[in-house]
Amino acid sequence: MSDFRYVTKAEYANAKEDLERLIHAVQNEVREDFTFQYKFIGSAAQNMVTMDYSSNIGYDFDVNLYVNDDDEKYSAKEVRNILRKAFDKFNRQFQYDYTEDSTRVLTIKVKDSQNSKILHSADFAIVYNCDNGRQKYIHYNKNQDSYEWQYQPKGYYELSERIDLIKQDSHSAMLWQKIRDLYIEKKNHNLAGKKSRALFAETINEIYKQNFK
């Protein structure tokens, strides 16, 4: 069992500011190819950043990068590689290591090599909002070494709606405390090694079903 606790805004404020400065540098770097906006999502957007202070892995941020390439000038692989190379150009200026490429996200980490620790990290999902109201993200198939745009699953759209309903409820403060308690519990019993964004979604869905069904 882990021992995750909530990190205060004061603790991660400087790291978040540096991360935004890095993203701005990347925005300027890729501007001749395409533009993009960004948004902190999941637990980071709700001031629910967590960390197990007894472990060698620090807290993490989840960020969506919204790419503007309406004419589809670039393939999914080209978009991903352009962004990855741009991050790698500036990562070191902000103490981040080289960008790691995984199935759904690009990941960057600030490491304390002497003590074999990850101080904090950020996961970037590259997404595109379609005209039909749905959203696609770039999916990386490691076995085939291929990249493609895939639609987000149905649960993705339900999540934001459920967060809004919870926040609008007359008992929102009580419900949000339940969310915070359940999320920490899930983090501490995460034997399957699920990502923070997945655990956050599970938490929201469980509290919603308990109180709005």
pLDDT of residue 157: 78
The HSE-up count of residue 49 (CA atoms within 13 Å, CB side) is 24
Cβ-proximal residues to 180 (8 Å cutoff; 6+ apart), any chain = 6, 48
CA 88 to CA 195: how far, in whole Å? 23
**Structure tokens given for 88:** 């790698």
Note the pTM of the prediction, 2 decimals: 0.91
Q: What integer best gives the mean pLDDT of the chain?
A: 93
- Which residues neighbour 99 within 8 Å (Cβ) at sequence distance 6 or greater? 84, 87, 88, 91, 106, 107, 108
- Higher local confidence (pLDDT), 154 or 113: 113
Task: Delimit the domains of the chain by residue range.
Answer: 4-152, 154-213
Predicted pLDDT of residue 48: 95
Q: What does the pLDDT look like over 143-193, one tens digit per residue?
A: 999 999 999 887 787 888 899 999 998 899 999 999 999 999 999 999 888
Q: What is the pLDDT of residues 4-52, one digit of tens each?
A: 999 999 999 999 999 999 999 999 999 999 999 999 998 889 999 999 9
Given this model, what pLDDT does residue 200 score?
A: 92
Check if the beta carbon of residue 103 is closer than 8 Å to that of residue 139: yes
Check if the beta carbon of residue 110 is closer than 8 Å to that of residue 49.
no
pLDDT in the model for residue 26: 98
pLDDT at 213 over 80: no
Q: What's the count of helices (H) and strands (E) in the chain, helices before strands?
A: 6, 9
The pLDDT score that the predictor gives to residue 197 is 83
Q: Which CATH number fits domain 4-152: 3.30.465.10, 3.30.460.90, 3.20.20.70, 3.40.50.720?
A: 3.30.460.90
Q: Is residue 123 pLDDT above 90, yes or no?
A: yes
Length of the chain: 213
Q: What is the pLDDT of residue 196?
A: 86
Q: Are 43 and 49 in contact (CB under 8 A)?
A: yes
SS3 state at 173:
helix
Give the tokens for residue 141.
Answer: 């198939």
The pLDDT value given to residue 181: 97
Provide the pLDDT for residue 156.
80
Q: Could you give the CA distance from residue 208 to residue 178 in angstroms, rounded to a whole number?
A: 11
Whether residue 63 contacts residue 16, with contact meaning beta carbons closer than 8 Å, is answered with no
Q: Where are the beta strands (DSSP E) in 45-134?
A: 50-52, 57-68, 100-101, 106-112, 117-129
What pLDDT score does 77 carry? 96
